Amino acid sequence: MKQFFTAGILAWNELHNDRSMPWKKEKDPYRIWLSEIILQQTRVEQGRPYYERFIAAYPAITDLAAAPDEEVFRLWQGLGYYARCKNMLAAARTVAQQHQGRFPDTYEGITALKGVGAYTAAAIASFAYNLPHAVLDGNVYRVLARFFGIDTPTDTTAGKKLFTQLAQDVLPGQQAGTYNQAIMDFGAVVCKPQTPLCKSCRLSSQCEAFQKGLTDLVPVKSKKLRIKKRYFYYLLSGNGSLRYVRKRTGKDIWQNLHEFPMIETPAPVTDAELLSLPAFRALAGPGNIRIESASPEKKQQLTHQTIHARFLRIGPETEVLPPEGFRAVSAAELDRLAFPKIIVDFLKG
């Protein structure tokens, strides 16, 4: 069954796989690593232009390592999960400073880089060096769970162990890179999350899920994702063309990105309720500050939370003091700073 599976994936790849990606067949570990970091939590279509922009701006890992943080964050803007960008820069600088600019060529060396987990390390090791390490991402979990009919939850310790071993068992040692790419493509194109193409699938004769009508039931997850709603009210204040902004720090989302003074509430509030909040006074200052205009609500979906945001112009301008921790920046500087996508969309109008 395992041999049938591996041979089937390779044959499908050889005969039918026409999924194109700019980094496919790439052998340069820097480019593979960059594409994998960009694609963590990001769809291929969204990640592709970012990959191309990064390669154009930083053709070698040493170029990326030498770039100023703010410039790299600005280029990353819109991709989200900024910890990835921070780790990416740290890893590039490790390669530049501790490996003389040469990307590590062992699985252990690759795993030691910041932001590189088991999946990314296996992808780089197999694509760049054909090392026999199986990738295990959402596509691979799904294909394996369906074909072998496994209902052990994938997000448990037992499930992770079982799937890691199985993925490694079905990996053809001599063709690790080709096979790893093939199984992920197969999951994306044939054994899709919804409506898999079972009728034309060359694995169907031995596929447990297809034979038993279980394709909708596996893979199994033990926990359902709970999405938290958050309500952000941005106060647009400043003096003339200057705007008050600060860099976000701490452990919350959007670390290292900039923001306007903001009040967060656990539920939506009216303008009158907002004006009466102590947080409003703390940010807007004393006096007769009012809300002069408000944008319609904007929404940004993150993995575990939905951000609802409104942008409120407050005034009169001369009475709004810069809140503590914020600084006044010009429109030109505003253009150079990195902001979360929801603010970028608002600024673009």
Name the residues that contact ligand SF4, by CB under 6 A.
143, 146-147, 190-191, 196-198, 201, 203-204, 207, 209-210, 215
- Give the nearest distance from C-beta 179 to ligand SF4 in angstroms: 15
- Give the nearest distance from C-beta 141 to ligand SF4 in angstroms: 12
Active site residue 36: yes
- Give the nearest distance from C-beta 194 to ligand SF4 in angstroms: 12
Nearer of residues 94 and 204 to ligand SF4, judged by Cβ: 204
Nearer of residues 55 and 191 to ligand SF4, judged by Cβ: 191
Cis peptide before 219 (omega within 30 of 0): yes
Tokens (6 digits) for 276: 């009466």
Tokens (6 digits) for 243: 């705007």
- Give the nearest distance from C-beta 221 to ligand SF4 in angstroms: 17
Annotated catalytic residue, options 14, 36, 70, 292: 36
Nearer of residues 5 and 346 to ligand SF4, judged by Cβ: 5
- Give the nearest distance from C-beta 187 to ligand SF4 in angstroms: 8
Nearer of residues 146 and 310 to ligand SF4, judged by Cβ: 146
Nearer of residues 64 and 207 to ligand SF4, judged by Cβ: 207
State the Cα–Cα distance between residues 259 and 270, nearest whole angstrom. 22
- Cβ atoms of 54 and 38 within 8 Å: the answer is yes
Q: Residues with catalytic annotation?
A: 36
